[in-house]
Structure 1
């Protein structure tokens, strides 16, 4: 049993300087082609990356399971492991990977987003199933569907506070950073427990030049 742990920090707590940021447009980089300019789309910047990294998280969970089983370790104890005493456990990190990808898209479509609700099941197999269902839903989105969300209003409801966003600002300044924070923390928890993982397990699939 852990002793003398500091309480976990509040979810989505903001520094004073973060609450004073003025709203502004999100720049979208352009790449030149022979036919002119082609935009780097909202789908490219969000869902495409969500898919690659969530597939990497699925592989990390698979490697973690194999390590625990091969070394006769208690697999279910892994779901409660924390990188640091005042951080949330593995099952929260996995839940957050889903929340800041699939639920972010759902939130934009519905116009509002809130912090994640606790999982009903936190056993290891349920975490693996959750990651797979996240991958499946992300892959069900069409690029035009996601790109069509550009400019849509969304309100992030944090208790009594409400923070207004446009879809692109929400994804790029909030969802994507949070998504990678929690995916990386899940990776780090397994590395801390001795699972043989490396950077390539997290980076996963590269998007190479075609043709």
Structure 2
């Protein structure tokens, strides 16, 4: 028997699991900075290495590759995101909260109805044509997880006490039947 999973569950379910975890990472980062007297702007501008984008960029891209990806599924086009001047930690937390709320309110039919639809990704002169499934599974979700992992790595590199379980968030476990 072939496994059946909806486009909504494969995308929005995964986005929400990680977005909720990222919200927790941000809360732990805030508490750590307060406890240790670290200026939050140091975290906002922190990078894993000089040629990588800073923490604020990673958080912005988490939002873009989740809520922005779902919007692309609905419209059929994904371009480059608008640059938002989110230069403080509270604004980054608010962005993640807004993204979580937008996805939590999304009815599954709004995503599932777009299965098989075309999505065009445009970046400058580059244009890539995907199906909705291919876009989410081969482009959006990998980018989303890359930026979430990088944000986690930046927080860890600054001493925030986090574990893999913090990154993974609440697992979507099967409920056991009553005995």
Give yes or no for TM over 0.5.
Answer: yes
Smaller-chain TM-score range? Answer: over 0.9
- The answer to whether the Cα contact below 8 Å between 1:30 and 1:40 also exists between their aligned partners in 2 is no
Deviation of residue 161 (structure 1)? 2.0
TM-score (norm 1): 0.81
Larger radius of gyration: 1
Q: Is the 8 A contact 1:114 1:158 kept in 2?
A: yes
2:14 is aligned with 1:30: no
CA distance in 2, matches of 1:104, 1:199: 25
Unaligned runs of 5+ in 1: 1-28, 32-38
SS in 2 for 1:30: coil
Give the TM-score normalised by structure 2. 0.95
Query: Which residue of the partner structure matches residue 44 of structure 1?
Result: 9
Give 1:84 deviation, angstroms.
1.2
**Distance across 1 between alignment mates of 2:126 and 2:158:** 38
Deviation at 1:64, TM superposition (A): 0.3
Q: Report the counterpart of residue 96 of structure 1 in structure 2.
A: 61
Partner of 1:133: 98
Question: Residue 148 of structure 1: CA displacement?
Answer: 0.8
Structure 2 portions without partners, runs of 5+: none
Q: 1:24 — aligned with what? A: none
Q: How many Å apart are 1:95 and its aligned residue? A: 0.4
Which piece of structure 1 moves more, 180-189 or 109-118?
109-118
What is the Cα deviation at residue 118 of structure 1?
2.1
Q: Deviations over 1:82-129 (max 9, x none)?
A: 011110000000000000000011112112101223222221000000
Provide the aligned length of Structure 1 versus Structure 2.
Answer: 176
1:203 CA displacement: 0.7
In 2, distance between residues paired with 1:164 and 1:89?
29
Counterpart CA distance in 2 for 1:55 and 1:30 is 30
The Cα RMSD (Å) is 1.2
| Corresponding position of 1:178 | 143
Pair 1:65 & 2:37 matched: no
In structure 2, C-alpha distance between the alignment counterparts of 1:143 and 1:109, rounded to whole Å:
12
Structure with bigger RCO (C-alpha 8 Å, 6+ apart): 2
